[in-house]
Chains A and B, each alone.
Chain A
Amino acid sequence: DGGITQSPKYLFRKEGQNVTLSCEQNLNHDAMYWYRQDPGQGLRLIYYSQIVNDFQKGDIAEGYSVSREKKESFPLTVTSAQKNPTAFYLCASSIASSGRWYEQYFGPGTRLTVT
C-alpha cells in the first residue's frame, strides 16, 4: 500500500514548546515538501528537499527546521520561534529532476493547535 503517511492527525501543544511532525513515504520519491495551510487560504511552501541530506527554504521557512537523513522521511520541527504555529501542515513528495517540478502526492496532513 504505497503512499505518504503523516502522524498524528491532530496535535496540541503549549506555546513555547517545539514540536516535530512526521512524514514518511514509500513511493520511492526523491523530493519531499512541507506546506502550511491556513483556513480559507492556499498552501505555502515551508521547506523542500530534492535529495537526501539536502534541503532548501521555501517562502515561509522562519521558525521551522527540517532534516532529511533518509529518503523515506522528512520530519518538520515547528520551533517556539514560529509566531503563529497553529495551522494545517501538509507533507508531499514527487519524483525529482534538477530544475523541474513534477506532480506532488500529498499526505493526509496534521492539524496543529498551539495554545
Chain B
Amino acid sequence: GQQVMQIPQYQHVQEGEDFTTYCNSSTTLSNIQWYKQRPGGHPVFLIQLVKSGEVKKQKRLTFQFGEAKKNSSLHITATQTTDVGTYFCAGPTGNQFYFGTGTSLTVIP
C-alpha cells in the first residue's frame, strides 16, 4: 500500500546546528504539505508545495519538492529551542491523504 516514510525518525541537535528531514513517498503526490506538532499538541500547517522542483523559504526553514513529486525535504538553519517538535510531511494520492512517519527534533540548549 501507499507509504510515506521520513528519515531520520529522531534527531538531536545542539542549538545553532542545522537540521534536515527527508520525506519519501511510494507514489506520486499531487502536492506536499508540511506540519509541525509540538509535544502534547496538535499538528500545525507550515507550508504547501505544488510544483515539481519547487523550493520555498520561511525565515530559517527551507522546503523542497522533488522533481518526480515523490520526495521532499525540510531544512532548518541554525536551530533554536522553539523548533522542538515533530515534523510531518503529508500529501494526497488519488482520493486519499497520507501523513509521513514524522521526524522528532530535540534541540539541546
Which residues does A use to contact B, with CB under 8 Å? 33, 35, 40-45, 48, 56, 58-59, 90, 92, 100-109
Contacts of A33 in B (CB 8 A): 97
Q: Is the CB of A101 within 8 A of B102?
A: no
Which interface residue of B30, B41, B97 has the most chain A CB atoms within 10 A? B97
- Chain B's closest residue to A59 (CB) is B96
Q: How far is the CB of A48 from chain B (nearest CB, A)?
A: 7
Q: How many A-B residue pairs have CB under 8 A?
A: 55
Which residues does B use to contact A, with CB under 8 Å? 1-2, 4, 6, 9, 30-31, 33, 41-45, 48, 88, 90-92, 95-102, 104
Q: Is the CB of A42 within 8 A of B48?
A: no
List, sorted by A's number, 18 A–B pairs whose CB atoms are closer than 8 Å: A41-B101, A42-B4, A42-B6, A42-B88, A42-B101, A43-B90, A45-B97, A48-B97, A58-B96, A59-B1, A100-B30, A101-B92, A103-B48, A104-B43, A105-B45, A108-B41, A108-B42, A109-B42
